[in-house]
Structure 1
Amino acid sequence: MDETFEKAGSGASLTYPVAAGQFRKGHYAMLKQNPCKITDISISKTGKHGHAKARIVGINIFTGVKYEDVCGTTHNMEAPHVDKKEYELVDIDEAQVILMDTDGEPKEDLNLPPGDLAEELKKAHEEVQDDDGKSIMVCVLAAMAKEQIISFRVVTSDE
């Protein structure tokens, strides 16, 4: 009888456990089931009948919405696996962007970012198309099986 076992990579889980007291400003945490970057954290002293509590405030990394959560410092919370990658912008087609990684492989599954960043990116792309010595590098943030462009920069060919 042959048995087949599925393999999972080290990033198989979308989150990992972290004790609430271990979080710091700038870390990533799941607040109310949303991947957030922590903007403020305060730890209360232990009370007469309880444990110290961590009050964590963060901004959703994809939507910019503010979330807050309170948890005992010794209790585990979830933290998302977050990955940042940089790609070169090749073209913008309607609401979709065409990117290229450092190995020259195309990436065509991302849309323009929400809000003003999309308009700024379109404008920069139009300006760079006329200048052979410049290109646009976009920063893509990936977490919770979602990817989104969060920033970009114009670079000259000698960088």
Structure 2
Amino acid sequence: MEDYETATSGASETYPQQCSSLRKNGYVMLKGNPCKIVEMSTSKTGKHGHAKVHLVGLDIFTGKKLEDICPSTHNMDVPNVTRKDYQLLNIDDGFLSLMDDSGATKEDLRLPDNEVGTEIGKKFDNGESFLVTVLKAVGQEAVVATKNYN
């Protein structure tokens, strides 16, 4: 009997989209990083017949600015980005204890080392009840915002 190892192809993490159909505030993979598009400009068709699209994006996890240029007819990888809100239960040793709508808990996310993390810490210390928004893409997750209950 032969044993085949199954591995995820990563196909579910990104999907191809024609460069010319990408839009500002959408997502795209730039140099292997999931980015939110902040600027887009298209150059005129050159002598070789391809209009070029200049993309500027911010890495959704690090905020780092990345740029790329691609022919408008080429496909770019677009990350499948999901947003999910969790209720913050506790902060333990730099890790967040979170609960989703169904009551499932998640304890593998670190308190972010940025303004959002500072805000979470302050609200938590003040005993406030609030939600944190977790962004997930290409196998990475990060807390990107806080939200008060409505």
Output the TM-score relative to the length of structure 2.
0.91
- 1:148 and 2:142 matched: yes
Segments of 4+ moved more than 4 angstroms? 1-4
Shift of 1:126: 1.1
Per the alignment, residue 52 of structure 1 pairs with 51
Q: Give the C-alpha shift of residue 12 in structure 1.
A: 5.0
Matches within 5 A, 1:1-159: 13-127=12-126, 129=127, 134-155=128-149, 159=150
Larger Rg: 1
1:18-55 deviation per Cα after TM superposition (whole angstroms, max 9, x unaligned): 11111110110011111100001011111122300000
Q: CA deviation at 1:150?
A: 0.0
Distance (Å, rounded) in 1 between the aligned partners of 2:79 and 2:48? 32
Consecutive unaligned residues of structure 2, counting only runs of 5 or more, are none
Give the whole-Å Cα distance in 2 for the aligned partners of 1:39 and 1:2. 49
In angstroms, what is the RMSD of aligned CA positions? 2.0
Following the alignment from structure 1 to structure 2, what is the Cα–Cα distance between the partners of residues 52 and 12? 28
Aligned length: 149
Specify every segment of 5 or more residues in structure 1 that has no aligned partner in the other structure, as ranges: none
Alpha-carbon offset, residue 13 of structure 1: 2.4
The whole-number CA distance in structure 2 between the counterparts of 1:135 and 1:72 is 48
Q: Percent of aligned positions with the same letter in both sequences?
A: 46
